[in-house]
């Protein structure tokens, strides 16, 4: 192999833009492990990076793609051997280190997770950073005493990648899930994932001046931020907990202290990219454990086809503008080589 295909993002005036190029292994960022990439996936962060809509790239040029699954091609680290099935998500991938939108990726061995048994390379990327973040959010809420008997759990930005997966996982764990969405056409989709109620975004008065709203939610998973997160803080039940991981609707958070001092509301941050390896491996094991086989804490979704669809590598760029407009549904898995 002399060269291979990669989707590389270049600085362009004050912004950035991606395009397909041919690269050699020598041109990739250094690392002990070279992986032949089979699948990647499109995350909101990938879209911000590739289009320049968000200033997330910290080093130009950079191969995009925060996620990759594939097979070890070569390794200078004893933990990995050629032929091992592995996955990598987050860290600096796709923003400051050449990422997974390429036929090969070269990464530090400390970033590499052995593919858990019972998860295929395709399933690993149908989950990707999105599924990993959903698992971390659920883990954070559980650590803060959320259980299905406490009441309803609301998931915002419901048709998005992280949220679609979270809805299916939560419903499998026995939670009553309320899906908040801006898409009138996707209510049946959300019910098929396991949502018991749909809350259309336009039916909610997000920006009321009331310091507290009617208390409704025992737990919340938020992809949206901004006014939505502000409204969530004001509408949680006593001791309710919110996992905040997204900003699809805004960066700012305007609220007041009453939710915290009168209702004991907990606002929990989730940062998937920097998650340390022990917790990372624990979460990937939960993502591979199938709850239908009696593994009580298992999070493996029962039906990947519901939320994941495959796009060819050559079709990658078509996903970005749709995602930027909030018009995508679930996960686009990018097929780079065969399974």
Ligand X SMILES: NC(=O)c1ccc[n+]([C@@H]2O[C@H](COP(=O)([O-])OP(=O)(O)OC[C@H]3O[C@@H](n4cnc5c(N)ncnc54)[C@H](OP(=O)(O)O)[C@@H]3O)[C@@H](O)[C@H]2O)c1
Q: How far is the CB of 269 from ligand X (least distance, A)?
A: 8
Residue 184: count of CB within 10 angstroms of its CB: 10
**Residue from 205, 252, 271, 339 binding ligand X (CB under 6 A):** 271
Q: How far is the CB of 199 from ligand X (least distance, A)?
A: 10
d(CA 309, CA 289): 22
d(CA 180, CA 189): 13
Q: Taking CB under 6 A as the rule, does residue 168 contact ligand X? A: no
Angle at 231 between CA 149 and CA 266, to 5 degrees: 50
In terms of CB distance, is 35 or 190 closer to ligand X? 190
Q: How far is the CB of 222 from ligand X (least distance, A)?
A: 8
- The CA-atom distances, in angstroms, between 67 and each of 19, 100, 311 are 18, 5, 15
**Tokens found for residue 37:** 């990439």
Q: How far is the CB of 256 from ligand X (least distance, A)?
A: 22
Which residues, listed in sequence order, are joined to residue 63 by a DSSP beta bridge? 8
d(CA 59, CA 332): 25
Q: Report whether the peptide linkage leading into residue 177 is cis, meaning its omega lies within 30 degrees of zero.
A: no
Which residues, listed in sequence order, are joined to residue 6 by a DSSP beta bridge? 21, 102
Strand bridging mode 33-41 / 331-335: antiparallel
**Residue from 95, 232, 237, 270 binding ligand X (CB under 6 A):** 270
Q: Taking CB under 6 A as the rule, does residue 100 contact ligand X? A: no
Q: How far is the CB of 245 from ligand X (least distance, A)?
A: 4
Q: Taking CB under 6 A as the rule, does residue 45 contact ligand X? A: yes
Binding region for ligand X (CB under 6 A) out of 12-20, 68-76, 118-126, 175-183: 175-183
126-139: b (≥16 Cβ within 10 Å) or e: bbbbbbbbbbbbbb
Q: What is the footprint of ligand X within residues 103-132 (CB under 6 A)?
A: 129-130
In terms of CB distance, is 40 or 129 closer to ligand X? 129
Q: What is the footprint of ligand X within residues 307-336 (CB under 6 A)?
A: 323, 326, 328
Contact pattern from residue 229 through residue 268 relative to ligand X, giving x for each residue in contact according to CB under 6 A and a dash for the rest = ----------------xxxxx-------------------
Q: Which residues bind ligand X (CB under 6 A)?
A: 43-45, 129-130, 133, 157-162, 181-183, 201, 223-224, 245-249, 270-273, 323, 326, 328
């Amino acid at each position: 192999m002399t060269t291979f295909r990669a989707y590389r993002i270049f600085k362009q005036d004050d912004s950035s833009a991606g395009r397909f190029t041919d690269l050699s292994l020598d041109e990739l960022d250094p690392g002990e492990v070279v992986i032949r990439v089979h699948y990647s996936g499109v995350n909101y962060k990938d879209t911000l990076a590739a289009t320049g809509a968000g200033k997330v790239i910290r080093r130009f040029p950079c191969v995009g793609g925060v996620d990759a699954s594939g097979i070890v091609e070569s390794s200078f680290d004893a933990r990995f051997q050629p032929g091992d099935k592995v996955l990598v998500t987050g860290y600096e991938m796709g923003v400051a280190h050449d990422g997974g939108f390429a036929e090969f990726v070269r990464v530090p061995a400390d970033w590499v997770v052995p593919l858990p048994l019972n998860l295929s390379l395709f399933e690993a990327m149908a989950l990707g950073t999105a599924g990993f973040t959903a698992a971390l959010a659920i883990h954070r809420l559980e650590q803060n005493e959320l259980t299905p008997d406490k009441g309803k759990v609301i998931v915002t930005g419901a048709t998005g990648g992280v949220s679609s997966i979270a809805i299916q996982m939560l419903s499998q764990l026995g939670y009553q899930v309320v899906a908040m969405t801006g898409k009138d056409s996707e209510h049946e989709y959300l019910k098929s994932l396991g949502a018991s109620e749909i809350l259309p975004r336009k039916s909610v008065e997000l920006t009321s001046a009331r310091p507290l709203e009617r208390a409704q939610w025992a737990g919340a998973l938020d992809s949206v931020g901004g006014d939505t997160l502000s409204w969530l803080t004001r509408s949680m039940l006593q001791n309710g907990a919110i996992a905040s991981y997204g900003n699809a609707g805004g960066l700012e958070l305007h609220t007041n202290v009453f939710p915290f001092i009168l209702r004991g509301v907990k606002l929990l941050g989730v940062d998937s990219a920097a998650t340390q390896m022990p917790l990372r491996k624990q979460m990937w094991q939960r993502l591979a454990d199938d709850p239908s086989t009696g593994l009580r804490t298992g999070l493996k979704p029962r039906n990947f086809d519901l939320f994941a669809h495959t796009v060819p590598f050559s079709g990658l760029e078509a996903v970005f503008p749709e995602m930027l407009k909030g018009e995508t549904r679930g996960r686009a898995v990018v097929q780079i080589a065969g399974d």
